[in-house]
Amino acid sequence: MKKDEAVPYLEKALEDPNERVQYYAVRCLGSIATEKSRESLIRAFSEGKADVRQHAAYALTWHPHQEAEDVYIEFLEGQDRWHVRHAVQALGEIRSQKALPHLKFIRDNPEGWHFYYTALVAIRKIESRELPKKVSDALQFIRTAKYSSSVDEKQLSASEVIVKDNIESALPDIMDIFLWATKGNESKVEPNSKTILRDAGKLAYPYIRIGLRDKDENVSRKAERLVTELGWESEFRKDLQQDAPANAGKPRR
């Protein structure tokens, strides 16, 4: 609650030999989210040891800011893939034109579905190509309903119509909704997203292929089940048997 008054003490804690002290100091600086605390984290990323650098970069993604743009871009090549996804999201939030080549590389050479989709959403924001509000609202209702025990059937049907009317632009979002695993019994929205994917036919194939090649078994198995239930095994036989393709050369910073 002291905010900037606490920054000098937290900076001193970053020099503590105890890594746990360093970790909590970084978290506090990230939570403060002022210009002074950001400067401290950026400095820690530039000058700190490996662990401090990683924690500092991650903390800077909690409240995305233009000042940290170069940190986010450099952190795209970090080892912690969860942290990398946060860097991608942050670059989208600040609408970083500088990051576009890197984000398009991730989109076109994805390590898995969630990397693809996170990069796609970030690129939409940077290029000001977000989905129309009525479409994003419909998708949000479908996504929320996926985890709800009580679904408004009328609104669900209306949302499905809106999405189908904008199928080409909304398909990646529907695939993302489908791939997020539900806990326990699947909700009523599960066949809804599956129905949209089925009706999309070949338009959905590129997104299904990304899911099938995902190294996360929770994703690839659900994509496989979708292919089986829709009777599309012959179209995806090769994808069901091969490993993820090797990535091409990365863009230079």
Q: State which H helix or E strand residue 30 sits in.
A: helix 19-32
Do residues 56 and 37 touch, judged by C-beta distance below 8 A?
A: no
Q: How many CB atoms lie within 10 A of CB 9?
A: 11
* Average of per-residue pLDDT across 42-63: 90
234: helix, coil or strand?
A: coil
| Weakest mean pLDDT among 61-70, 86-95, 136-145, 180-189 | 180-189
Give residue 116's Cα distance to chain centre: 8
Do residues 250 and 105 touch, judged by C-beta distance below 8 A?
A: yes
**pLDDT attached to residue 183:** 47
**pLDDT attached to residue 1:** 60
Nearest CA to 6 out of 23, 20, 31 is that of 31
Q: What is the pTM of this model?
A: 0.86
pLDDT band at 253 (very low <50, low <70, confident <90, very high): very low
Scanning 109-186, the segments in alpha helix (DSSP H) are: 113-126, 133-145, 153-165, 167-179
For domain 3-126, say whether CATH 1.20.1250.20 is its number: no
**pLDDT attached to residue 26:** 95
Provide long-range contacts, Cβ within 8 A and 24+ apart, for 41-50.
Answer: 41/68, 42/67, 42/68, 42/71, 44/14, 45/71, 48/14
Q: How far apart are the first and last CA of the chain?
A: 38
How far is it, in rounded angstroms, from Cα 143 to Cα 122?
19
Both tokens of 48, joined, read 């700190």
What are the tens digits of pLDDT across the range 198-237?
Answer: 999 999 999 999 999 999 998 999 999 999 999 999 999 8
How far is it, in rounded angstroms, from Cα 120 to Cα 122?
5
Taken in order 73, 74, 78, 80, the sign of the CA dihedral is negative
List the chain domain ranges: 3-126, 133-241
251: helix, coil or strand?
A: coil
